[in-house]
């Protein structure tokens, strides 16, 4: 029997509470984008809850660090280096996981990239890059695990989309397009799979991850105040709850998707609210940055660099 490490205060309040929920003992969880940000936090949390965790991302060195953090607390981890834009890589990783642990109970699609740009200036290559990771990568992962889930009588897929998949905002038009597509694909899949397979959506706002950290280094996103970034643990809590209680959709923070309802009922009002919010964010961002040391002016400020979760 595997030894379950008790949560400590250092694990953080949300993780400590989640670790007491139960329901994941000996479950096999596959997480993409697990080398950093939301994916890394999710891997550590599910391991604390007794799950066997397969960590997938391109960067093996970072995956080894995550796996080491899991095993040092008596958890079980499997490193499966994966490029979600490469179906051969995905299929190889899924085969490796099935050979080791025999099944996949939960897939968390957390990998994602963001390249900001106003729609009028958007480069086709940038949109294609986001599309390959945010949409086609998630699709390929789902298609790779579904046969095993069907064979074993059930499973769960949780896609980490975004509030930007419910309302278009600038300068994230291309990113919004990919997240709208992911939301629609997820909703369609729910109607196609048997009830034993649960498909859920988590829709976070701006989270304190490497993707958000890149905002400060990007002139196109300089209007967003870093003080409003939410911790990754909030999203992980939503992922766990969506999987544990078979919830179809959770916004982070809860209720944030209200703008979707407003947009459907009164699009003009929604547009005005977004413009007002952007202007308010710019004011807060300027006030926040005025108290910081000047940022270095190097190539890191190139507006076309992709930001990853």
Spatial neighbors of 17 by CB under 8 A, at least 6 apart, are 237
28-32 vs 52-56, strand pairing mode: parallel
Cα dihedral value 211, 216, 219, 220, nearest 10:
40
- In whole angstroms, what is the distance from residue 146 CA to residue 123 CA? 34
Choose the catalytic residue: 24, 46, 101, 175.
175
Alpha helices of the chain — where are they, by DSSP H? 13-18, 37-48, 60-71, 87-101, 124-131, 138-151, 173-192, 210-213, 232-244, 258-265, 267-289
175 in catalytic set = yes
The two tokens of residue 153 are 């009588």
- Spatial CA neighbour of 218 closest among 114, 302, 275, 277: 302
How many whole angstroms separate alpha carbon 39 and alpha carbon 6? 21
**38: region left, alpha or beta (phi > 0 left; psi from -120 to 50 alpha):** alpha
Q: Answer for the pair 127, 79: CB distance below 8 angstroms, yes or no.
A: no
Active site residues: 175
């Amino acid at each position: 029997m595997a030894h379950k490490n008790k949560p400590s205060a250092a694990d953080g309040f949300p993780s400590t509470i989640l670790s007491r929920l139960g329901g994941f003992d000996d479950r096999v969880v596959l997480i993409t984008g697990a080398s950093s940000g939301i994916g890394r936090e999710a891997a550590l949390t599910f391991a604390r809850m007794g799950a066997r965790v397969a960590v997938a991302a391109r960067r093996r060195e970072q995956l080894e660090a995550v796996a080491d953090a899991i095993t040092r607390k008596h958890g079980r981890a499997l490193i499966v280096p994966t490029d979600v834009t490469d179906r051969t890589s995905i299929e190889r990783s899924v085969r490796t996981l099935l050979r080791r642990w025999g099944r996949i109970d939960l897939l968390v699609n957390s990998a994602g990239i963001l390249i900001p740009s106003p729609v009028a200036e958007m480069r086709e290559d940038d949109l294609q890059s986001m599309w390959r990771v945010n949409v086609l990568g998630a699709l390929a992962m789902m298609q790779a695990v579904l046969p095993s889930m069907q064979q074993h009588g059930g499973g769960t897929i949780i896609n980490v989309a975004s509030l930007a998949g419910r309302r278009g905002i600038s300068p994230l038009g291309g990113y919004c397009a990919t997240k709208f597509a992911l939301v629609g694909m997820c909703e369609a899949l729910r109607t196609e799979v048997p009830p034993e397979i649960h498909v859920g959506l988590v829709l976070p706002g701006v989270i304190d991850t490497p993707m958000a950290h890149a905002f400060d280094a990007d002139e196109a996103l300089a209007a967003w105040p870093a003080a409003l970034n939410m911790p990754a643990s909030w999203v992980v809590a939503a992922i766990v709850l969506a999987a544990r209680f078979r919830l179809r959709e959770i916004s982070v923070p809860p209720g944030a998707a209200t703008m979707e309802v407003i947009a459907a009922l009164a699009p003009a009002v929604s547009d005005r609210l977004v413009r007002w919010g952007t202007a308010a964010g710019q004011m807060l961002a300027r006030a926040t940055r005025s108290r910081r040391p000047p940022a270095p002016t190097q190539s890191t400020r190139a507006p076309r660099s992709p930001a990853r979760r």
